[in-house]
Amino acid sequence: MAIRGGRGGWTLDGIEKAKKSPKSTSMTTAQFKKVESGKVSESDLQKSFIETIELIPYKGRTLRDFVYAVPNGGFRTKRTASNLKKEGVKAGVPDLHCFVAVPPWHSLYIEMKTEKGDLTDSQRHLIPILRAEGHKVVICRSDQHALSELLKYLGIQVA
């Protein structure tokens, strides 16, 4: 599905319209209360971002094919946490990774935070290391901010 603005650029409004399917013209009471209260979680922001990039064509695929989530957060049993640590899961790795190299960067990491969210100690430790090794790292406080950073990184013009 291609949504183009003037001069072939993407419009954020057009992307938002594409996200809404004809079958989902309303929201649940719980969704409405969450929006009204301002209690949108990092997970909500990340899911909305992923839904959006599934609609944007890139290199014969969609942007979703070039971005993956790093499952570091969430609550786990001690056993599961221990196994994940042994398997190499590393605390502090940003939430999302776009593995497309865009010189001078090796890749783009996106850390999603709510308006009041703060970096963890492990993130404060690891993010400077990632940057020193040639990765671009951005901290985004909305799904639109994350989308804007990804499009800018990839050189996709927004009309």
CA distance 158 to 156: 6
Greater confidence (126 vs 17) lies with: 126
The answer to whether residue 28 is domain-embedded is no
The answer to whether residue 79 is domain-embedded is yes
Q: Which range is least confidently modeled, 25-39, 80-94, 108-122, 130-144?
A: 25-39
Query: Which helix (H) or strand (E) covers residue 148, if one does?
Result: helix 143-154
The domain of 143 spans 6-16+39-154
Q: Are 10 and 4 in contact (CB under 8 A)?
A: yes
The answer to whether residue 45 is domain-embedded is yes
Q: Are 67 and 153 in contact (CB under 8 A)?
A: no
- Domain with 78 in it: what CATH number? 3.40.1350.10
Q: What is the pLDDT of residues 39-85, one digit of tens each?
A: 789 999 999 999 999 999 999 999 999 999 998 776 778 898 888 88
pLDDT greater than 70 at residue 28: no
Q: Which two tokens stand for residue 58?
A: 């890139």
The answer to whether residue 144 is domain-embedded is yes
The answer to whether residue 80 is domain-embedded is yes
The answer to whether residue 22 is domain-embedded is no
pLDDT (0 to 100) of residue 37: 54
The answer to whether residue 24 is domain-embedded is no
State how many domains the chain has: 1
pTM, two decimal places: 0.75
CA distance 56 to 67: 12
The answer to whether residue 1 is domain-embedded is no
Question: What is the DSSP annotation of 16-76?
Answer: HHHHS-TT--S--HHHHHHHHHT---HHHHHHHHHHHHTTSEETTEEGGGGEEE----S--
Q: What is the pLDDT of residues 92-105, one digit of tens each?
A: 999 999 999 999 99
